[in-house]
Amino acid sequence: MQHSYGYFEEDHLGQIGNVGLWRRLLIFVAPYWKWVSLAVFLSLIVTAASLALPRLIQLAMDEYILQTRLSIDQRVSGLLYLSLIFCGIILIGFVANFLQVIVLEWAGQKIMHAMRQNLFVHLQRLNLSFFNAHPVGKLVTRLTNDIQNMYEMFTSVIVTLFNDGLKLIGIMAILFWMNWRLTLLLSVMLPIMLIITLWFGRLARDAFRKIRTNLARINAFIQEAVSGITIIQLFLREQDTLDRFTDLNRIYYRSTIYQIHIFGLFIPLIEVMGSVTMALIIWYGGREIIQDHMTLGILTAFISYMRLFFQPIRELSQKYSIVQSAMASAERIFQLLETRDVLPVRSDPVVLNDLQGAIEFGNVTFEYDPGHPILKDLSFRVEPGETLALVGATGSGKTTIINLLERFYDPGEGDIKLDGISLKNFDPHRLREQIGLVMQDVFVVPGSVRENILLNLEADDDQLERLVQLSQLSALVNRLPDGLATRIGEGGMDLSAGQKQLLAFARVLARDPSILVLDEATANVDSETEMLIEQAIQAALANRTSIVIAHRLSTIKRADRILVMDHGTIVEQGTHRELMAQKGVYYHLQSLQNDLGRNEVIPAGGRAPVRE
């Protein structure tokens, strides 16, 4: 339920009078100004057409229908002539209306598309720490619902608002031109209506906001109750849950009733104002006719125009709240766009050529949250071609080492060097090209297996075939209906966790990086896949500097050196054999389980009781 996100934050965002916000919006609109102007122009035609109709009826009445000076035939043919014009204007209005909708939709969608794309690209560029601080659900809401909100404003509000404004002015102008005295009298009503509308707009906005927050609360509650239904039932909390829900539901109900009251007052009030205007027209306009200052046709036109006049006013308040919510969305989007959480990149980065792959962490200290250091004054070296295994409990800092090496973050203190050059001197993109990362989590792009292996690389069939073999994917590929062309991911086939792992190895091998980083995870795989993964790891580690967060004993034993981590520091290092002989933390970690069992300590050296 991403829909519930965001409503809580609405309270103080997006004031309609925020000029800065409008200016930023206009930057996105600017490339499409021609289309937007065309839409506005078309909507002017629509308005002009609808305003012309009562005027034409008035002309028909005064010039022909009620005109006794002409012959009947002349009057009928004049009437026919005007009627045909009338018909033409209707058709023009209809066509213009259609075109206006299409043009506006096109421009609006393009603008929103640009904004969405912009935001997506921008977010991708941000530091990982940004993603730690912002839940994915919220970011998704910004890119989808918030953009959608703004779009509503574009199509249904901005142009109609402009249009309505012009319509009101247009009507006043026509009326003034037809009879200025009557119009002047009617315009006494304007300030009264303005005050009522503004006052109402504020009340309506509050009412809508209350409804939305209460509804969001209800939704959040239902969502929790449904996902926690088992617990509720097992704990016998049904009645209690229902009681709490009923309370929330009643609060929501009250806010909807409040809104009904507000609208129940406002809409009839505007209606009364309309009728008062009508009465004024009849009374004052009628007197003007008696005194021959005005014709009957003009009186009719006045009545018709007044009807057109009140329609936009009724809708104004509703549109106001759409704009309000769109502005809040806009502000949230721009806040994200303003986030400048990007790693500093040197303008003249050091070029990476023929990387040896020597890694050096020198007195590195790092913390995600201030005051909670994850790595403390950490120093170690990895020689070219060496395989280093990291072992330690969850939270000991293993993954953080990888994050720093990939330069997802820069260390707080100390420095990390690659072939003797500080990572800060490299362009992170070029750096990451040199590092192959395999994690438990594998991202699959919607596309063929081939695309998924190569991503942005090119390769001929032979090269690809070799990659598939090396990464132990052959068996899988042979089983797939279309081989390498089989579509996987969203809308395609689903791969198992083990198969995805193999895919990740194929990706790394395709890139042939100088450094391999393996965040090995013991995924739940069958023993056949387990063996394939084993072999793929072997292929990937060959002749490469590697850092492995190891869980499989086979990987740990294969490592040239093992670093045992505890709370951000290295507590032991050496080969498996050395460390087991040391009987220290590593030994404890490995034999922990036995120790906790019935004191059946298994001798060091990793020999299990032989089965045979």
Partner 1 sequence: MKPGGKTDATSHFAAEKAAKEVNPWSAVKVISPYLKRYSIRITVGFLALIAVDFLQLCVPRIIKNAVDDLQAGLATSNRLLVYGAIIIAIALAIAMLRFVWRILLLGFSRRLEMHLRNRMISHILTLDKAFFQRRTTGEIMALATNDLSSVQLATGMGLVAAVDALFMGLAAIGFMAFIDWRLTLMAIAPMPLLAILTRFLSSRLHRRFKRVQEQFSILTEYVRSSFSSIRLIKAYNQETQQAGRFDRLGTTYVRDNLRLAAIYGTLFPLSGLIGNLSLFIVLFFGGRMTIHGTITAGDFVAFITYLFMMTWPMMALGWVSDLFQRGVTSLDRIHALLKEQPALRSPAGAEQGISIRGAISIRSLSFGYPNQPRLVLKNISLDIRQGLLLGVVGRTGSGKTTLCHLLARLYPVPSGQILLDGTDINRLSLATVRGAIAYVPQEVVLFSESIAFNISMGRKDATWKEIEEVARAAAIHDEIMAMEHGYQTRIGERGVKLSGGQRQRLAIARALLLDRPIIIIDDGLSAVDMETEHAIIRSIASYLKGHTCIIVSHRLAPLADADEIVVMEEGRIVERGTHSQLLERSGFYATIYYQQTSLAGASELAGRADAT
Segment 536 to 565, residues that bind partner 1, using CB under 8 A? 552-554, 556-557
Q: Is 62 in the site for partner 1 (CB under 8 A)?
A: no
Size of residue set near partner 1 by CB under 8 A? 161
- State which residue, 156 or 573, has the beta carbon closest to partner 1: 156
Q: Pick the closer one to partner 1 by CB: 82 or 477.
A: 82
Instruction: Please identify which residue in the block is written with the tokens 């934050």.
Output: 9
**What value does the CA radius of gyration of the chain take, rounded to a whole number of Å?**
37
Tell me how far apart the alpha carbons of residues 83 and 100 are, in angstroms, rounded to a whole number.
25
Nearer to partner 1, 259 or 469 (CB): 259
Cα of first residue to Cα of last residue in the chain, in angstroms, is: 55
Both tokens of residue 125? 């560029």
Does position 335 interact with partner 1 (CB under 8 A)? The reply is no
User: Which one-letter amino acid corresponds to residue 213?
Assistant: T
Backbone φ and ψ of 552, nearest 5° = -70, 135
Smallest separation (angstroms) from partner 1 to the CB of 363: 25
Work out whether 229 is an interface residue with partner 1 (CB under 8 A).
yes
Could you give phi then psi for residue 418, rounded to 5 degrees? -120, 120
**Based on CB atoms, which residue is closest to partner 1, 228 or 363?**
228
User: What is the smallest separation between the CB atom of 444 and partner 1, expressed in angstroms?
Assistant: 9
463-490: b (≥16 Cβ within 10 Å) or e: ebeebbebbbbeebbeebeeebebbbbe
Q: What are phi and psi of 310, to 5 degrees?
A: -85, -20
Determine how β-strand 359-367 pairs with β-strand 413-418: antiparallel
CB atoms within 10 A of CB 599: 7
Say how far apart CA 324 and CA 166 lie, in whole Å: 21
Least separation in angstroms between residue 534's CB and partner 1 is: 7
**What burial class does residue 260 get, using C-beta atoms within 10 Å of its C-beta: 0-12 exposed, 13-18 middle, 19+ buried?**
exposed
The three-point CA angle 132-134-137 to 5° equals 120
* Interaction residues for partner 1, span 571-610 (CB under 8 A): 590-594, 596-598, 600, 602, 606-609
Between CA 556 and CA 554 the distance in angstroms is 5
Pairing of strands 545-549, 515-519: parallel
Are the C-beta atoms of residues 536 and 566 closer than 8 Å to each other?
no
CB of 201 to partner 1, least distance (A): 18
* 64 sits near partner 1 (criterion: CB under 8 A): yes
Nearest to partner 1 of 364, 532 (CB atom): 532
Please state the closest distance from residue 428 (CB atom) to partner 1, in A.
8
Judged by CB under 8 A, the chain residues 430 through 459 that form the site for partner 1 are 432-433, 435, 437, 439, 441-443, 445-446, 455-456
Question: Does residue 261 interact with partner 1 by CB under 8 A?
Answer: yes
Contact 592/420 with Cβ under 8 angstroms? no
Supply the minimum distance, in Å, between the C-beta of residue 604 and partner 1.
Answer: 9
Of 162 and 263, nearer to partner 1 (C-beta) is 263
Q: How far apart, in Å, are the Cα atoms of 226 and each of 220, 222, 235?
A: 10, 6, 14
Closer residue to partner 1 (CB): 22 or 443: 443
Our finding on whether 86 is near partner 1 (CB under 8 A) is: yes
16 vs 592, which CB is nearer to partner 1? 592
Rule CB under 8 A: say whether 131 interacts with partner 1.
Answer: yes
How buried is 601 (Cβ within 10 angstroms: 0-12 exposed, 13-18 middle, 19+ buried)? exposed
Contact between 162 and partner 1 by CB under 8 A: the answer reads no
Q: Of residues 37, 117, 335, 363, which one binds partner 1 by CB under 8 A?
A: 117
Q: Does 242 bind partner 1 (CB under 8 A)?
A: yes
Give me the helices (H) in 67-127, please: 72-125
Of these, 30, 33, 37, 109, which contacts partner 1 (CB under 8 A)? 109
Site pattern 485..514 for partner 1 (x: CB under 8 A): -----x---x------------x---x---
Least distance CB 20 / partner 1 (angstroms): 27
Q: In the range 274-333, which residues lie near partner 1 by CB under 8 A?
A: 274-276, 278-280, 282-283, 286-287, 289-290, 296, 299-300, 303-304, 307
What span, in angstroms and rounded, lies between the C-alpha atoms of 59 and 43? 24
394 forms part of the interface with partner 1 (CB under 8 A): yes
Q: Is 334 in the site for partner 1 (CB under 8 A)?
A: no
Which H or E run contains 519?
strand 515-519
Distance, CA of 419 to CA of 431 (rounded, Å): 12
Q: Which of 38, 44, 105, 334 binds partner 1 (CB under 8 A)?
A: 105
State how far the Cα of 581 lies from the Cα of 575, in Å rounded to an integer: 10
Q: Does 97 bind partner 1 (CB under 8 A)?
A: yes
Classify residue 604 by its DSSP letter: T
Looking at beta carbons only, is 157 or 222 nearer to partner 1?
A: 222
* Smallest distance from partner 1 to CB 309, Å: 13
**Minimum CB separation from partner 1 for residue 30, in Å?**
19
- Interacting residues with partner 1 between 17 and 56 (CB under 8 A): 50, 53, 56
* Residue 93 in the binding site for partner 1 (CB under 8 A): yes
Nearer to partner 1, 86 or 176 (CB): 86
Q: Distances in Å between the alpha carbon of 240 and those of 216, 227, 237, 254?
A: 20, 16, 5, 22
Of the pair 21, 214, the CB lying nearest partner 1 is at 214
Q: Are strands 387-392 and 561-566 parallel, antiparallel or unpaired?
A: parallel
In the region spanning residues 205 to 224, those forming contacts with partner 1, defined by CB under 8 A, are: 215, 218-220, 222-224
Q: How far is the CB of 373 from partner 1 (least distance, A)?
A: 16
Neighbours of 238 (CB within 10 A): 12
